Amino acid sequence: MAAAIIDGKAFAARLRARVAAAVPAFADAAGRVPGLAVVLVGDDPASAVYVRAKARMTAEAGMAGFEHRLPAATDQAALLDLVRRLNADPAVDGILVQLPLPGHVDEAAVIAAIDPAKDVDGFTPENAGRLATGLPGFVPCTPLGCLMLLKDRLGDLAGLDAVVIGRSNIVGKPMARLLLAESCTVTVAHSRTRDLPAAIGRADIVVAAVGRPAMVQAAWLKPGATVIDVGINRIDAGDGRTMLVGDVDPAAADVAGAITPVPGGVGPMTIAVLLRNTLVAAHRRAGIPLADATL
């Protein structure tokens, strides 16, 4: 039996609608709408597309968007000065500095300069530490979106075996911590894992976030496992065309119980969760409780 498709696109649309529905009440109480500032340095095509999508969806949610496009040659001091100004701007609830940054800029220094209360990407050391120690804070958007999809599909995750493939600060590590907080038994696998197929074969949940096309083979999966494919890889489809594929072999759909498609699975969740985080940041900064406590 083919796996059930986990429709991240539809879930993300519902989440964005819930965020938009909560904005008017905040505006009535605070006298302003939530504000998201996005900083793009340089002209990376993929980043530019992503920033445009964020701007469009921010407006659709009824929020204020503040876009700052800087030349690739912008020096680190100028970028840090912009971050400090956004930290101090009362109209800005969330700050997102689009990665990657040009090579001459220290990404860690720029991320660390963001006010943790406005760090809606969840990348600052303070928010990473709060996640690691079980304290409330902001969680990176992609892994939080993955967790939402898993809980929507499976309900209570307690006691399930989970494998997270990849150990980045953006997806792998926070994903593992979120699953631990749900009382899963978690293995973090990576390029040095000695027997990756065996580790995956024990897992009820597989989250693949390595950036290697079709690396996870169908034969490695436990029958009925739930698979979250975070990978978005562009490959040659022939005749000068390219196509997007995930980190999991498409044949996995014949073994898994449920799987996210690529595209249309995890990708749409990232911006939806970003808007959710911005809404939460606005409420926290204004001292206004969220009417929808499930957000």
Nearest to 120 by CA among 269, 13, 280: 280
Question: Among the options 115, 119, 121, 249, which is catalytic?
Answer: 121
Question: Among the options 54, 118, 173, 222, which is catalytic?
Answer: 54
Annotated active-site residue 121? The verdict is yes
Residue found by looking up tokens 């083919």 in the block: 2
Rounded to whole angstroms, the Cα distance separating 83 from 88 reads 9
Rounded to whole angstroms, the Cα distance separating 284 from 279 reads 9
Sign of the alpha-carbon dihedral angle for 44, 71, 61, 209: positive
Strand partners, 162: 186, 205
Annotated active-site residue 217? The verdict is no
| Distance (Å) of CA 17 to CA 88, 111, 148, 263 | 29, 29, 15, 21
Nearest to 294 by CA among 94, 148, 116: 148
Q: Alpha helices of the chain — where are they, by DSSP H?
A: 8-30, 45-60, 76-88, 107-113, 125-132, 141-154, 172-181, 196-201, 267-286
DSSP letter assigned to residue 220: G
Cβ neighbourhood burial of 293 (10 Å; 0-12, 13-18, 19+): exposed
Rounded to whole angstroms, the Cα distance separating 25 from 188 reads 41
Question: Among the options 93, 98, 119, 229, which is catalytic?
Answer: 98
Annotated active-site residue 76? The verdict is no
Burial profile 79-100: b = 16 or more Cβ within 10 angstroms, e = fewer: bbebbeebbeeeebbbbbbbee
Burial profile 234-254: b = 16 or more Cβ within 10 angstroms, e = fewer: eeeeeeeeeeebbbbbeebbe
Known catalytic residues are: 54, 98, 121
